[in-house]
């Protein structure tokens, strides 16, 4: 990657700052010696700067950011032990926060929103930001966010936007299954009312030849294309299997879509007094219920010659269909590559994908689909842990991840203890917000290749598909508002303003070298070029106010390509 020098950029107008940044970035034997004496409570060896940098890099992949004080414990603990600890933490679910917000509002504790519709829309956004910024189970939160970009639903559908329980309950489904088994995840998504609304298998009825109607095929298509097996048959390394003519082999055809569509008939909202087709009392906090009266009862021929026999209950049909997809050999490499792209690198090597695929196929104890084994394989793989130097390593950090990480790294507080944010400012500036993608294909496609040097080298950069002249300029201006303008979040009326709490860095602000070094370690893993470091130090030296020195130092590091393009 070419080097970007702050010494030059600091003299340029802000509206070309990140354009320049992205252009630069996108390119033993045994013996019989006397054993040493036993020492009680020996002093542990000091953690080196390199170890701190490695911990920071791991945190950038596995979390939504950690403060500098967390790096030494992470380095001492080691990645594998840290993962085990995270797997054991209780789940920070979002729905209880939504319920609490709505109950407080109804009780008149605060008049947070001017109109009733606003608090319905805002509640799930407030819950996402508060929980993601404050949660201890940050690995689970980060994996759930990655899963939300694979199993996509969106608030672009009106009913999912105005019913606050719809998307918070769906996100809790992803959180709950993030460390479970992929089959349970796929089954849960299939029965989710939010997914049923979004991909229209809610109230999907069986065929009526007399009326010329047939089951909706939307979910049947996307559960294969996007949620499990993809378009073409894959080798375990993610490469396409080819036919005798050298062409990729499709995983399914239109007949398969029609057969799966028959399976996904008969679902409607569950709960008390549930009735097929009744949408007057939508229940998003319970899975969809199967109504056999509306389910296609005939035989269904699925993938690889698998047959669902006629005459079963709808639930039995669905379970067999989920098994058919779950056991398809494509799932490991297909889902594995997507998780790698969301967490570590946009261009994983075939060997990397193979190792993750193998972990999906067998966790070492004969279990297929163990998400903990898959996550370990993604994050602990040699390709992820070795210091990256090649052009195929790393990824562009997503705007949402950058922003949440910044707030968690610096620290935030408010008078009422609630970290209130709606995310509209970020969404408007960067075109990304959790559970708000423009389509089922997410914010960006996994195979997106920006025109120019990346496509010429057959490299992928999914996140750059939401990067344009406007968003490139918007990011440094957004950070200017957050770090220098005091606009840390965008809380609605009735919630306390959020403040940054960089206490550690305020205490060392007089020492510009130490200050910049710590920020460089935490945010850029020590990768800033010496000229960039010198330019940042030079730029903050004239200022005596500690808060300003800290804000400027964080700002200049945060807009550096070594932070935006993480390797």
Q: Give residue limits of the domains in the chain.
A: 2-31+46-80, 395-566
- Cα-based distances in Å from 337 to 167, 229, 353, 355: 25, 12, 6, 11
* pLDDT band of 431, cuts 50, 70, 90: very high
Helix (H, G, I), strand (E, B) or coil at 522: helix
pLDDT tens by residue, 140-170: 999 999 999 999 999 999 999 999 899 999 9
* C-alpha to C-alpha distance for 36 and 274, rounded to whole angstroms: 73
Question: Any idea what the Cα angle at residue 147 is, between residues 268 and 219, rounded to 5°?
Answer: 35
* C-alpha to C-alpha distance for 219 and 561, rounded to whole angstroms: 39
Q: What is the mean pLDDT of residues 264-287?
A: 92
Helix (H, G, I), strand (E, B) or coil at 232: strand
* C-alpha to C-alpha distance for 31 and 485, rounded to whole angstroms: 65
pLDDT tens by residue, 293-314: 999 999 999 999 999 999 999 9
**Short-list 121, 120, 194, 181, CA closest to 152:** 194
What is the per-residue pLDDT for 294? 97
Tell me the two tokens of residue 36.
């040493």
Tell me the two tokens of residue 161.
């936007």
What is the per-residue pLDDT for 119? 82
**Short-list 267, 147, 295, 280, CA closest to 197:** 267
* pLDDT band of 27, cuts 50, 70, 90: very low
* pLDDT band of 110, cuts 50, 70, 90: low
What is the per-residue pLDDT for 401? 98
- Mean pLDDT lowest for which of 12-26, 55-69, 418-432, 549-563? 12-26
**Short-list 387, 392, 367, 403, CA closest to 475:** 403
* C-alpha to C-alpha distance for 263 and 271, rounded to whole angstroms: 22
Half-sphere exposure of 562 (CA within 13 A, CB side): 24
Ramachandran assignment for 31, one of left (phi > 0), alpha (psi -120 to 50 degrees), beta (any other):
beta
Q: What is the mean pLDDT of residues 514-525?
A: 98
Place of tokens 């964080």: 554
Mean pLDDT, all residues of the chain: 92
* C-alpha to C-alpha distance for 560 and 325, rounded to whole angstroms: 43
What is the per-residue pLDDT for 19? 37
* C-alpha to C-alpha distance for 73 and 52, rounded to whole angstroms: 9
What is the per-residue pLDDT for 9? 39
* pLDDT band of 13, cuts 50, 70, 90: very low
Residue 35 has pLDDT above 90, yes or no: no
* C-alpha to C-alpha distance for 495 and 127, rounded to whole angstroms: 13
Looking at the chain, the whole-number percentage of residues with pLDDT higher than 70 is 91
What is the per-residue pLDDT for 29? 42
**Short-list 562, 393, 523, 399, CA closest to 472:** 399
What is the per-residue pLDDT for 116? 76
Phi, psi of 269 (to 5 degrees): -60, 140
* C-alpha to C-alpha distance for 5 and 245, rounded to whole angstroms: 50
Q: What is the mean pLDDT of residues 191-195?
A: 98
pLDDT tens by residue, 43-62: 888 999 999 999 999 999 99
Contact criterion met (CB below 8 Å) for 466 and 430: yes
């Amino acid at each position: 990657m070419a080097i970007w020098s702050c010494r030059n950029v600091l003299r340029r107008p802000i509206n070309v700052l990140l354009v320049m940044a992205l252009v630069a970035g996108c390119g033993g034997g045994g013996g019989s010696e006397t054993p040493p004496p036993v020492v009680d409570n020996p002093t542990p060896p000091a953690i080196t700067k390199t170890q701190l940098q490695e911990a920071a890099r791991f945190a950038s992949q596995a979390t939504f950011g950690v403060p500098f004080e967390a790096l030494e414990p992470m380095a001492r603990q080691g990645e594998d032990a840290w993962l085990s600890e995270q797997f054991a933490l209780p789940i920070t679910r979002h729905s209880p926060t939504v319920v609490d917000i709505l109950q407080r509002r109804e009780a008149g504790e605060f008049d947070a929103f001017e109109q009733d519709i606003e608090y319905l829309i805002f509640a799930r956004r407030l819950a996402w930001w508060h929980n993601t910024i404050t949660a201890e189970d940050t690995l689970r939160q980060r994996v759930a966010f990655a899963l939300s970009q694979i199993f996509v639903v969106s608030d672009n559908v009106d009913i999912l936007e105005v019913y606050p329980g719809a998307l918070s309950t769906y996100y809790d489904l992803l959180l709950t299954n993030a460390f479970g088994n992929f089959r349970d995840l796929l089954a849960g998504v299939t029965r989710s009312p939010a997914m049923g609304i979004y991909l229209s298998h809610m109230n999907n009825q069986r065929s009526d030849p007399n009326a010329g109607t047939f089951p909706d095929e939307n979910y049947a298509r996307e559960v294969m294309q996007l949620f499990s097996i993809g378009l073409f048959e894959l080798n375990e390394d993610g490469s396409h299997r080819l036919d005798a003519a050298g062409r990729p082999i499709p995983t399914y055809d239109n007949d398969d879509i029609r057969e799966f569509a028959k399976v996904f008939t008969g679902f409607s909202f569950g709960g008390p007094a549930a009735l097929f087709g009744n949408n007057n009392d939508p229940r998003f906090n319970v899975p969809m219920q199967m109504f056999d009266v509306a389910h296609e009862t005939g035989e269904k021929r699925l993938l690889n010659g698998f047959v669902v026999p006629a005459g079963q209950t709808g639930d039995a049909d669905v379970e067999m269909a989920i098994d058919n997809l779950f056991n398809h050999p494509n799932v490991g490499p297909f889902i594995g590559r997507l998780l790698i792209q969301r967490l570590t690198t946009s261009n994983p090597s075939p060997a990397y994908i193979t190792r993750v695929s193998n972990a999906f196929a067998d966790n070492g104890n004969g279990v297929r689909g163990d998400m903990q084994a898959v996550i370990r394989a993604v994050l602990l793989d040699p390709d992820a842990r070795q210091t990256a130097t090649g052009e195929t390593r790393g990824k562009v950090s997503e705007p949402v991840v950058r922003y949440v990480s910044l707030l968690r790294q610096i620290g935030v507080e408010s008078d009422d203890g609630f970290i209130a944010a709606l995310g509209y400012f970020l969404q408007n500036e960067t075109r990304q917000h959790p559970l708000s993608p423009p389509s089922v294909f997410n914010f960006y496609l996994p195979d997106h290749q920006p025109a120019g040097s990346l496509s010429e080298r057959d490299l992928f950069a999914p996140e750059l598909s939401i990067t344009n002249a406007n968003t490139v300029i918007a990011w440094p201006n957004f950070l200017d508002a957050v770090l220098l303008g005091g606009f840390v979040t965008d809380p609605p009326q009735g919630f306390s303003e959020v403040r940054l709490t960089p206490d550690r860095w305020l205490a060392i602000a007089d020492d510009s070298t130490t200050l910049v070094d710590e920020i460089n370690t935490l945010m850029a893993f020590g990768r800033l070029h010496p000229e960039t470091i010198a330019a940042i130090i030079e730029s903050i030296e004239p200022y005596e106010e500690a808060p300003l020195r800290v804000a400027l130092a964080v700002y200049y590091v945060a807009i550096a390509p070594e932070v935006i393009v993480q390797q």
